[in-house]
Amino acid sequence: MKDAVTRNLNKALHLLETLSDQESQVIVDCLYAWPEATLIDLLIRTGFDSEFLFERLELLLEGGLIAYDHEKNVYQLCKKKLVNISKVTISMKAKKTVIVV
């Protein structure tokens, strides 16, 4: 049971770290402004090189923060997940929750 809690906590921390990263935030902001974007769109809008952008997109995909629509070949925000993360972080901040790793 403790191992499962630890894994879930580590996964949640990884999501928060990914979201708090400035480069990841640039991608999230682009997808917020343009709800569906191809890889080329994101390359142009972010100014990142293709390898770096692809690595960041993979992190965001792994965390479930964005999704890739294979039929349309576009990336999209997973707004429901972002809203849930926002609610949790606001709640933690209000309760002054501290996570010790």
Residue with the larger pLDDT of the pair 1 and 27: 27
Per-residue model confidence (pLDDT) at position 37: 97
**What are the residue boundaries of the structural domains of the chain, listed by start?**
2-94
Model pTM?
0.75
> 31-78: per-residue pLDDT in tens?
999 999 999 999 999 999 999 999 999 999 988 889 999 999 999 998
Annotate 16-52 with b (16+ C-beta within 10 A) or e (fewer). bebbeeeebebbbebbeebeebeeeebbebbebeeee
Q: How confident is the model at residue 82 (pLDDT cuts 50, 70, 90)?
A: confident
Measured N-to-C along each axis, helices 22-33 and 50-62 cross at an angle, to the nearest 10 degrees, of: 80
Query: Considering only the top CATH level, what class is 2-94?
Result: mainly alpha
> What is the mean predicted confidence (pLDDT) over 8-20?
74
CB–CB of 56/46 below 8 Å? Answer: no
